[in-house]
Structure 1
Amino acid sequence: MKASYTPYTLHFKVPSGTSRGILTDKETYLVRVWDDADPDPDRFGVGECALFRGLGADDRPEYESVLQQVCREIDRYDTLDLAAWSSIRFGVETALLDWRHGGRRVVYPSDFADGQRGITINGLIWMGDKRTMAARIEEKLAAGFSCIKLKIGAIDFDDECDLLAFIRRRYPREVIELRVDANGAFAPDRALEYLKRLSDYDLHSIEQPIRAGQWEAMARLCETSPLPIALDEELIGVNGAAEKRALLETVAPQYVVLKPSLVGGFTGTQEWIDAARVAGAGWWITSALESNVGLNAIAQFTATLPVEMPQGLGTGALYTNNIPSPLEQVGEQLLYNPAREWDFSGLSWR
C-alpha cells in the first residue's frame, strides 16, 4: 500500500458563530491510499483527517509530521498507536475502508450508500444576533425539519429564550423536537439556574452546559437538571476503554454526542457506543465541520447503526468549496445519490 495527503482549507459561505467565536475558514487534510500492484489503476481510497483547531486533542504543532509518518508507514497501519491522534485515525480508517470496498467512496456498504434510503438529521441554527437566528429558524421550519438544534451561549440569554419560546408557541414538542448546545458556555455555579429556565421550553436535551473537564460539577448537574444533558466536548481526549467507562460511571449523563473525527475515529466511536449502552446512556452521531469526504464516511457509518432519532449530520452545505460529492440534503433527509460523481481534480497530493 501507498499513501499521500494534501492540506485543504474550507471556506464558509457565511461566517458561523459558536461560543468560541466566529468561524470563516476550516483547515483539514485529505489522505489517499492505493496499491501500485492493483490491476485497476482507478482504484484508490480517500479519507479526511479532519483536524479541528482549538478543539481537537490532536491539535499539536507536530500534526503534519505525524501524518507524513503514517503515510510512509501505511503498510503497517495496524501496528501504529494513533489513540492520541483522533482525526488522523479517522481519516486513515476511512481511506482504507474505502479502498477495501472497491475504492469508489463506499466506506460502509448499506442501503444508504446504495441510494435506497436517507438519514433523518436535525436542522442546525448557528449563533448570530436575534434577528438572524430567528430568520434561520424560519428557514429550517419551512424546509420541513422536525428537529431543530440551536447553538446558545453567545448572545443575551433572554434573547435565546425568546427564540425558543417563538418556536414553542407555534409547535409543541410532539411536532418539533428542540435541542440546544451550549458548548460549555455556562459557569458551573449558575448552570442549574439556566437549565431550569430552559426546561420551560420542552427541550429534548442540552449539550455540554459547562466547560469540559469538570466531572464532579457535571455529575451534579446530570443528577439535578430538569432537562437531559448530553456530553460532547467532555469526550474529546478520553481515549482508553477504561477511562471512557469511568467518565460515564462518574458523570452519568443522559446522552453522549459522538463525533468520530474527535473521539478516536470509528474504532473509538464504537467503544463509546458500547460504553454508553452499559451505562444506560443514549447517544447520537454528529459531524464536526468535515468536508463532504468526512461527512460521507460518518453518514455511511451511522447508516449501519440502530439509530432512532435525528442525527447531527447537516453541515455539508456550509462551504463555498466543498469537495463535489453524491451527498444531497433534501429537507431533513441526508441522501447519497450514486448517480453523482466525486471530484478530486485540482488537488495536489504530497
Structure 2
Amino acid sequence: MIIKDVQVHYRNIPLLVPFKTALRQANEIDSIEVEITLDNGIKGTGAAAPTVVITGDSTESIMSVAAGPIKEALSGHDLRDFQEALKKVQRCCTGNTSAKAAADIALYDAYSKWLNIPLYAYLGGQKNLRTSMTIGVDTPEKMAWDAEKSVEAGFHLLKIKVGTYPEIDLERIEAVRRAVSPDVKLRLDANQAWEPKQAVQILQELEKKDFGIEFVEQPVRADDWEGLKFVTERTKLPVMADESLFSAKDALKLIAGRFADLINIKLMKCGGISEAWKIADIAEANGVKCMVGSMMEPSLSVAAAAHFAAAHPNVVYMDLDAPLWLSEEPDHLTYDGEDVLLSDQPGIGIVQPV
C-alpha cells in the first residue's frame, strides 16, 4: 500500500455552449488529473479545474503544486495510514485548494478501491441524488427558452444565474417563472454581483410575487460578510453562502455569526472530501443545511462530490450539473433527467450512459 508514484495530467475540454455568470464566461475548461499509483498496482485518480475568479487557482498553479509539494508529501507514504495521507495533502502548502482537492479525491479513490467498495459505501451512506440545472445569465427571453428546454429534459429544479445588469434581474426571473410550471422550483445565484441594499430591494420584491424560490446564493461580495448578514436579516428567502465559504474555520464563523442561512460546499474551494466532511459536520451540529455544488469541472471531480453528497446526511441540496455542459460524455457519473447516477464499482467508478 505504499504510494510509489504521483503523476499529473492535463486535458482541455470544450463546452457545448458558453457558460455565463456574473463573474465570467467559460467556453472550455482545463482538467488537471492527479494519478496516484500504489505498489500493489492500485491507481487512484482525482481531478481539478481552475476557476481563478473564485479560488485564485490557475492551470499552471494547480499542476505545479500537484507535481511539487503534493507529490513530495505523498511519495513513499503507506496508504493504510489513510487519515495521515489526507493531512499531508492539506499541510504541504497554504491555499491551493483545487490542487489539494484533486489529490484528496485520488486518495479516496485509491483507498476505496483497495477496500473493493464504492466510494459512497466507504463514506457510509447511499441516497438518491437530484440535481438542479443551471440557467446561465442572458437576456430574459433566452433564459426563459433555456428554462423550458431544461424542464423538457426532466429537470424540476432550476438555478438561475443573475447579476449582470442587475436592473433587469427581476425581469429575468419573471421570464423564467412564466416559462415553466409552478411545480418547478427556482434557485437564484447572484455570484457576488449585488450591493447589499440592492439585494434586499430585489429579494423583498420577489417575496411579494411568491415565485417559489428555494434560496438565493451569494448575493454580495465574498469578503463582505457584514453585507451578507445585512441581506440575510432583511429577507424571508433563505440566503446561502458560497464564495464566502472555503474552510471549516469559515463555516464556524459564518454559522456562529448568523451571516447566512445555508452553505454551499465545493471540493475545489475547501480542498477535497476530507475538508468538505468537516464543514458539513459543523453545519449539522448547528442545524444549518448544506448544498454540494461544483465549479465548471470534469465528471471525475463532480462524481467525487456526488459520492460525498450521497453519504453525508446534512447534504440536502445538490447542484451537480457541470458535466452536462461539457462536449464529452461523462464517464464517472451519468444522468437520468435530474437524477444523478453513480457507479457501484470500487472507488469512484465508471458508469455507462443511460
| Shorter-chain TM-score range | 0.7 to 0.9
For residues 202 and 89 of structure 1, the distance between their equivalents in structure 2, rounded to whole angstroms, comes to: 37
Q: Measured at CA, do residues 51 and 106 of structure 1 come closer, stay the same or move farther in structure 2, by a change above 3 Å?
A: farther
Whether contact under 8 Å (1:255, 1:283) holds in the other structure is: yes
Instruction: Quote the offset at 1:206 in angstroms.
Output: 0.4
Instruction: Quote the offset at 1:27 in angstroms.
Output: 2.1
Greater Cα shift, 70-79 or 8-17: 70-79
Q: Measured at CA, do residues 107 and 49 of structure 1 come closer, stay the same or move farther in structure 2, by a change above 3 Å?
A: farther
For residues 218 and 71 of structure 1, the distance between their equivalents in structure 2, rounded to whole angstroms, comes to: 38
What residue in structure 2 maps to residue 26 of structure 1?
29
- Alignment RMSD, CA only? 2.9
- Where 1:101 maps in the other structure, the secondary structure is helix
Whether contact under 8 Å (2:334, 2:351) holds in the other structure is: no
Whether contact under 8 Å (1:45, 1:104) holds in the other structure is: no
Give the residue type in structure 2 aligned to 1:8: R
Whether contact under 8 Å (2:11, 2:31) holds in the other structure is: yes
Q: Measured at CA, do residues 83 and 304 of structure 1 come closer, stay the same or move farther in structure 2, by a change above 3 Å?
A: farther
For residues 90 and 30 of structure 1, the distance between their equivalents in structure 2, rounded to whole angstroms, comes to: 10
Equivalent of residue 328 in structure 1, options 334, 337, 344:
334
Equivalent of residue 161 in structure 1, options 158, 168, 173:
173
Instruction: Quote the offset at 1:6 in angstroms.
Output: 1.1
Give the residue type in structure 2 aligned to 1:149: K
Equivalent of residue 133 in structure 1, options 138, 143, 155:
143
What residue in structure 2 maps to residue 64 of structure 1?
63
Instruction: Quote the offset at 1:123 in angstroms.
Output: 2.1
What residue in structure 2 maps to residue 192 of structure 1?
200
Q: Measured at CA, do residues 214 and 336 of structure 1 come closer, stay the same or move farther in structure 2, by a change above 3 Å?
A: same
Give the residue type in structure 2 aligned to 1:336: L
Q: Measured at CA, do residues 105 and 143 of structure 1 come closer, stay the same or move farther in structure 2, by a change above 3 Å?
A: farther
Q: Measured at CA, do residues 332 and 129 of structure 1 come closer, stay the same or move farther in structure 2, by a change above 3 Å?
A: same
Q: Measured at CA, do residues 210 and 128 of structure 1 come closer, stay the same or move farther in structure 2, by a change above 3 Å?
A: same
What residue in structure 2 maps to residue 74 of structure 1?
74
Instruction: Quote the offset at 1:249 in angstroms.
Output: 1.8
- Where 1:161 maps in the other structure, the secondary structure is helix
What residue in structure 1 maps to residue 43 of structure 2?
44
Q: Measured at CA, do residues 125 and 243 of structure 1 come closer, stay the same or move farther in structure 2, by a change above 3 Å?
A: closer
What residue in structure 2 maps to residue 5 of structure 1?
8
For residues 122 and 67 of structure 2, the distance between their equivalents in structure 1, rounded to whole angstroms, comes to: 35
Give the residue type in structure 1 aligned to 2:45: V
Equivalent of residue 178 in structure 1, options 181, 186, 196:
186
- Where 1:47 maps in the other structure, the secondary structure is strand
Count how many residue pairs are aligned between Structure 1 and Structure 2.
Answer: 330
Greater Cα shift, 102-111 or 179-188: 102-111
Instruction: Quote the offset at 1:118 in angstroms.
Output: 4.3
For residues 62 and 313 of structure 1, the distance between their equivalents in structure 2, rounded to whole angstroms, comes to: 25
Give yes or no for the alignment of 1:254 onto 2:261.
Answer: yes
Q: Measured at CA, do residues 207 and 258 of structure 1 come closer, stay the same or move farther in structure 2, by a change above 3 Å?
A: same
Deviation digits for residues 100-155 of structure 1 (CA, Å, limit 9, x no counterpart): 222799661439999x9741111221122222211111112223322221111125
For residues 307 and 263 of structure 1, the distance between their equivalents in structure 2, rounded to whole angstroms, comes to: 17
Instruction: Quote the offset at 1:166 in angstroms.
Output: 0.6
Q: Measured at CA, do residues 21 and 281 of structure 1 come closer, stay the same or move farther in structure 2, by a change above 3 Å?
A: same
Please list every run of 5 or more consecutive structure 1 residues that lacks an aligned counterpart in the other structure: 344-350
- Where 2:226 maps in the other structure, the secondary structure is helix
For residues 156 and 213 of structure 2, the distance between their equivalents in structure 1, rounded to whole angstroms, comes to: 13
Whether contact under 8 Å (2:292, 2:318) holds in the other structure is: yes
Whether contact under 8 Å (1:118, 1:336) holds in the other structure is: no
What residue in structure 1 maps to residue 159 of structure 2?
149
What residue in structure 2 maps to residue 347 of structure 1?
none
For residues 97 and 105 of structure 1, the distance between their equivalents in structure 2, rounded to whole angstroms, comes to: 12
For residues 260 and 341 of structure 1, the distance between their equivalents in structure 2, rounded to whole angstroms, comes to: 20
Instruction: Quote the offset at 1:216 in angstroms.
Output: 1.3
Q: How does 1:268-307 map to 2 (within 5 A)?
A: 268-306=275-313
Greater helix share, structure number: 2
Instruction: Quote the offset at 1:228 in angstroms.
Output: 0.9
Q: TM-score, normalised by structure 1?
A: 0.84
Give yes or no for the alignment of 1:110 onto 2:121.
Answer: yes
Equivalent of residue 19 in structure 2, options 16, 25, 50:
16
Instruction: Quote the offset at 1:341 in angstroms.
Output: 4.8
Whether contact under 8 Å (1:151, 1:182) holds in the other structure is: yes
Deviation digits for residues 9-54 of structure 1 (CA, Å, limit 9, x no counterpart): 221110111102321122231010112x31xx4x311101333222
Identity of aligned residues (%): 21
Greater Cα shift, 88-97 or 299-308: 299-308
